[in-house]
A and B are shown apart, each in its own frame.
Chain A
Amino acid sequence: MSEQSKDLSDPNFAAEAPNSEVHSSPGVPEGVPPSATLAEPQSPPLGPTAAPQAAPPPQAPNDEGDPKALQQAAEEGRAHQAPSAAQPGPAPPAPAQLVQKAHELMWYVLVKDQKKMIIWFPDMVKDVIGSYKKWCRSILRRTSLILARVFGLHLRLTSLHTMEFALVKALEPEELDRVALSNRMPMTGLLLMILSLIYVKGRGARESAVWNVLRILGLRPWKKHSTFGDVRKLITEEFVQMNYLKYQRVPYVEPPEYEFFWGSRASREITKMQIMEFLARVFKKDPQAWPSRYREALEEARALREANPTAHYPRSSVSED
């Protein structure tokens, strides 16, 4: 998505007038299960959503994929699977077979993440682990280890309730900036535009407001775009499916209207400072043209720094075994 060089003096993005209903967090964190914090001791919840439910993590910080949490997940998963798990187990498979399963699972998770699909534990069992369900725990643990050491990625249980995993990059999200602003990932630019609008408004953005902004970029709900295709489907379905946006009916309004909020994944992966920098680039203004938002972004950045005084992915190039 190319940046507009003309001055986009869209009232939606206007450098702020005093706004009495400042929302402190983009997107309503609708009961993020406290168990989400089980899986991430001290690690950046890249948004304030974890704040209300933050319980001190019950285990020591472990940057190698939290095998305990995954074990719990595995056990939960097994409990939800076929109840006949109690039969006398078959002979344990050769270690080489477990290793191979771990490699298959690693690839499976990487591809799912590449396609921005949900990594769902029951799918992992059905598609990859199969008859090795009983050794799921050790397979998962090995896979997490490999992902951490080779790719610098953490396989995190993001929701025990829905048994969803996510691959969290243990690296600063700065590349999102570069990538978003190049032509390589137009989707990200479009997404950032909408997220920025929501953030600046401080509350949900009505669909009509979103289209006002997209209209400036030449995007219309009824027109197919050469890069984005069906834009309306993209933002109301695909981005929502990927948890980057929430698309909800505005209550008590007739005829029905809808509004957008930040999705849980956006809150995790994108910082407020990134949004400010994006706005600054696109509108050729200083980020401080949105003073209260900028302050929020600064505070979030400080909170993140305080929560993560040291990097928690392997930095050394020395052999780790």
Chain B
Amino acid sequence: MQGSTRRMSVMTDVHRRFLQLLMTHGVLEEWDVKRLQRHCYKVHDRNATVDKLEDFINNINSVLESLYIEIKRGVTEDDGRPIYALVNLATTSISKMATDFAENELDLFRKALELIIDSETGFGSSTNILNLVDQLKGKKMRKKEAEQVLQKFVQNKWLIEKEGEFTLHGRAILEMEQYIRETYPDAVKICNICHSLLIQGQSCETCGIRMHLPCVAKYFQSNAEPRCPHCNDYWPHEIPKVFDPEKERESGVSKSNKKSLRSRQH
């Protein structure tokens, strides 16, 4: 193999098993990733001290670099949970989904994606998406069928559904951010704080800049008088709490039961 010989020395069975399992699960929350890492150490290298997760992942990523793939860390837009996924950096189209879905299904996703990006709230309504069914490439799809395809997207963690409206799952944002920014450079919204792609968030009513909810939480943490970082006007929205993984586990709230509030704060 070329180029990465010295980097190869980092790959042990601990890393390999970790990569395999991460790939199997698709996308994982940070707590699960840490558990996974501990499991891999337990299996292959019981006596070693477990690396700090960040270093562990950076080590692996240095090997993956020459393969144009990466373990990417992101944060869910609604409640700031850190998530991880193995993504393909060389993607120039929605290639990860391409193996799973038919041509007309992929096109339905593209249409939904466009609606979501163009919307003010980051959500596309089911009705609006289904109305585009006639414009799809490939085999003709009926609305009933399209409803089921949308559910398939939700099950596969590409979309999230809330009260009949759809937005992008954190995983989709992780995997497709680059593609989205390249394909829709004018329509895309960016967070003023972290400068990443923004689908859901809060915006300043005076100057229009936008911020992710978790970015708002961190920026205005313990600030009694939150002001817009750009125009200094009073920030009119409710400031969410910073995500605290410890509190989460103590309260014993299971993730699947928790209904995070969708904030329509634009």
Chain A positions near chain B (C-beta within 8 angstroms): 99-100, 103-104, 106-108, 110-115, 117, 127, 145-146, 149-153, 169, 171-172, 174-175, 178, 184, 313-315, 317-321
Report A-chain residues with C-beta under 8 Å of the C-beta of B2: 99
**Is B100 touching A115 in the complex (CB atoms < 8 A)?**
yes
Chain B positions near chain A (C-beta within 8 angstroms): 1-2, 5-6, 8-13, 16-17, 19-21, 23-26, 32, 39, 43, 63-64, 67-69, 86, 88, 90, 95-96, 98-100
Report B-chain residues with C-beta under 8 Å of the C-beta of A127: 98-99
CA distance A313 to B11 in the complex (A): 12
Query: Assuming A150-B67, A171-B16, is B99 touching A317 (CB within 8 A)?
Result: no
**Is A171 touching B96 in the complex (CB atoms < 8 A)?**
no
Least distance between A279 CB and chain B CB atoms (Å): 23
**Is A313 touching B13 in the complex (CB atoms < 8 A)?**
yes
User: Considering the complex of A and B, which 10 residue pairs feature the smallest CB-CB distances, nearest first?
Assistant: A152-B16, A319-B9, A321-B5, A317-B12, A319-B8, A107-B88, A103-B67, A151-B19, A111-B99, A115-B100
Report B-chain residues with C-beta under 8 Å of the C-beta of A152: 13, 16-17, 19-20
CA distance A317 to B48 in the complex (A): 13
**Is B9 touching A317 in the complex (CB atoms < 8 A)?**
yes
**Is B5 touching A150 in the complex (CB atoms < 8 A)?**
no
Closest to B28 in A: A184
Report A-chain residues with C-beta under 8 Å of the C-beta of B19: 150-152
**Is A150 touching B16 in the complex (CB atoms < 8 A)?**
yes
CA distance A106 to B68 in the complex (A): 11
Closest to A123 in B: B99
**Is B39 touching A178 in the complex (CB atoms < 8 A)?**
yes
CA distance A61 to B67 in the complex (A): 27
Report B-chain residues with C-beta under 8 Å of the C-beta of A146: 1, 67
Residue from the list B10, B43, B98 in contact with A174, Cβ < 8 A: B43
Residue from the list A111, A174, A315, A319 in contact with B13, Cβ < 8 A: A315
Residue from the list B9, B39, B98 in contact with A318, Cβ < 8 A: B9
Query: Assuming A103-B67, A111-B99, A150-B19, is B13 touching A321 (CB within 8 A)?
Result: no
**Is A111 touching B96 in the complex (CB atoms < 8 A)?**
yes
**Is B96 touching A184 in the complex (CB atoms < 8 A)?**
no
Least distance between B211 CB and chain A CB atoms (Å): 32
**Is B25 touching A184 in the complex (CB atoms < 8 A)?**
yes
**Is A151 touching B1 in the complex (CB atoms < 8 A)?**
no
**Is A150 touching B64 in the complex (CB atoms < 8 A)?**
yes
Least distance between A183 CB and chain B CB atoms (Å): 8
Closest to A320 in B: B8
Least distance between A248 CB and chain B CB atoms (Å): 28
Least distance between A161 CB and chain B CB atoms (Å): 23
Closest to B25 in A: A184
Closest to B68 in A: A103
**Is B11 touching A115 in the complex (CB atoms < 8 A)?**
no
Query: Assuming A103-B90, A145-B1, A319-B5, is B99 touching A151 (CB within 8 A)?
Result: no
Closest to B86 in A: A110
Closest to B6 in A: A319
Least distance between B36 CB and chain A CB atoms (Å): 9
Report A-chain residues with C-beta under 8 Å of the C-beta of B86: 110
Query: Assuming A111-B99, A117-B99, is B17 touching A171 (CB within 8 A)?
Result: yes
Closest to B151 in A: A229
CA distance A115 to B157 in the complex (A): 12
Least distance between B71 CB and chain A CB atoms (Å): 12
**Is A169 touching B20 in the complex (CB atoms < 8 A)?**
yes
**Is B12 touching A107 in the complex (CB atoms < 8 A)?**
no
Q: What are 24 A-B contacts with C-beta separation under 8 Å?
A: A104-B90, A107-B69, A107-B90, A111-B99, A115-B99, A127-B98, A149-B1, A150-B11, A150-B16, A150-B64, A151-B19, A151-B23, A152-B13, A152-B17, A152-B20, A169-B20, A171-B13, A171-B43, A178-B39, A313-B13, A318-B9, A319-B5, A321-B1, A321-B5
Least distance between A266 CB and chain B CB atoms (Å): 17
Report A-chain residues with C-beta under 8 Å of the C-beta of B10: 317
Report B-chain residues with C-beta under 8 Å of the C-beta of A112: 99
